[in-house]
Copies of this chain bind each other. A is one copy, B any other.
Amino acid sequence: MTVTSPKLNEHWKALISRIDQQMEVYLNLGEDCPSSHQEAMSYSLFAGGKRLRPVLVLLACEACGGNSDDAMPAACAIEMVHTYSLIHDDLPAMDDDDLRRGKPTCHIQFGEANAILAGDGLLTLAFEIISANVKPAESGLKCCFELAKSAGSTGMVAGQVADLEAEKTGISTLEDLQAIHKRKTGRLITCAVQMGGIIAGAESQTIQRLITYGEAIGLAFQITDDILDVVGDQKKMGKGVQKDAEHGKLTYPGFQGVEKSLKQAEELISQACEAVSPLGEKAAHLKSLANFILNRDH
């Protein structure tokens, strides 16, 4: 069912390999870092995954005419922030998940204390990597700012807080659901393309186009995630499906059915593609990626 263009598919694989290689370099922290701690961070960081956010950083940089090498530090950093959020979200006090991508979660493997600290370490390392490597200083500082704002108490962390509260009190409207997802997953995805644009030295109008693109695919990503939970294949997903319904969690298909949700996702993807159209051929991969989100089966 995957209709990713063969071109993007190949490029994506090549980017993942470069990202993973560079993340290994960054995670090699020397003797001041306890080996157990490094192992826990590495375990979760290299647990597999699509590397969607770092790939978006690199593709957005390329779409703006930049060199993806320059964006590699920010790409690795955002994947570390994403991984930290998964580790902390999985904790017993939070979503209490034992499995992630088909493997025991960090706290199951290394214990709770080590998992909390692995998350803390990855979040902090993200800012160290950007501040040490993104040039010029203005771009580095802007990336630090956008990453912190997207990941923090009005962004991703706020989304997780709201999500936990909603599990207790319930969500009554689609707008509430959207407000949670926008912060919990949307903001970091948008930040990825923003950082790519910043590092390429893009004009503010172009950055705005990337933000529109990011917001649209971020929301579409969540909708298709919810749809996959209803219709997906457990093996391909690497996690239990229909978990949302079992947990009484409100989802897009739960609110408006699968068909209407799919239609909404399609509209969002078309908005995303339109937003980056003025960038011309350079944005072809970004468009293919948007279509992948719509048509993915995992």
Tell me whether A32 and B183 are in contact in the complex, defined as CB-CB below 8 angstroms, given that A116-B88, A137-B141, A141-B137 are known contacts.
yes
Q: Is B125 within 8 A of A153, CB to CB? A: yes
Contact A144 B116 (CB under 8 A): no
Most chain B beta-carbon neighbours within 10 Å: one of A29, A41, A152: A152
Contacts of A145 in B (CB 8 A): 127-128, 131-132
A116 and B91 in contact (CB under 8 A), knowing A121-B152, A121-B153, A154-B29? yes
Contacts of A264-289 to chain B: CB distance below 8 A: none
Q: A81-108 toward B: CB 8 Å interface, digit per residue (1/0)?
A: 0000000100101100000000000000
Query: A37-B161, A161-B36 known; A148 and B121 CB under 8 Å?
Result: no
Give the CA-CA distance A225 to B78 in the complex, in Å: 38
Q: Is A123 an interface position by the 8 A CB rule?
A: yes
Chain A interface, DSSP helix/strand/loop, else mixed: helix
Contact of A140 among B34, B141, B183 (CB under 8 A): B141
Q: Which residues of B contact A88 (CB under 8 A)?
A: 116-117, 120
**How many chain copies?**
2
Q: Is A30 an interface residue (CB 8 A)?
A: yes
What 0/1 pattern do residues 26 to 42 of A give for CB contact below 8 A with B?
A: 00011011101110010
Q: Mark A142-161, 1 if CB is under 8 A from B, else 0.
A: 10110111011111011011
Assembled-state Cα–Cα distance A246/B176 (Å): 49
Q: A123-B120, A165-B36 are in contact. Are A128 and B111 (CB under 8 A)?
A: no
Give the shortest distance, in Å, between A160 (CB) and chain B (any CB). Answer: 6
Bound-state Cα–Cα, A289 to B245, Å: 59
Are B148 and A128 in contact, with the CB atoms below 8 A? yes
Q: What's the Cα separation between A37 and B158 when bound, in Å?
A: 8
B residues near A137, Cβ cutoff 8 Å? 136-138, 140-141
Q: Cβ of A121: which chain B residues have Cβ within 8 Å of it?
A: 152-153, 157-158
Q: Top 9 closest A-B pairs, CB basis?
A: A93-B112, A124-B152, A128-B148, A32-B154, A131-B145, A121-B153, A131-B144, A137-B137, A127-B148
Q: Could you list 15 A-B pairs, sorted by A, with CB under 8 Å?
A: A32-B158, A33-B154, A36-B161, A37-B157, A91-B113, A91-B116, A93-B113, A120-B152, A121-B153, A124-B151, A125-B153, A128-B149, A128-B152, A131-B145, A137-B141
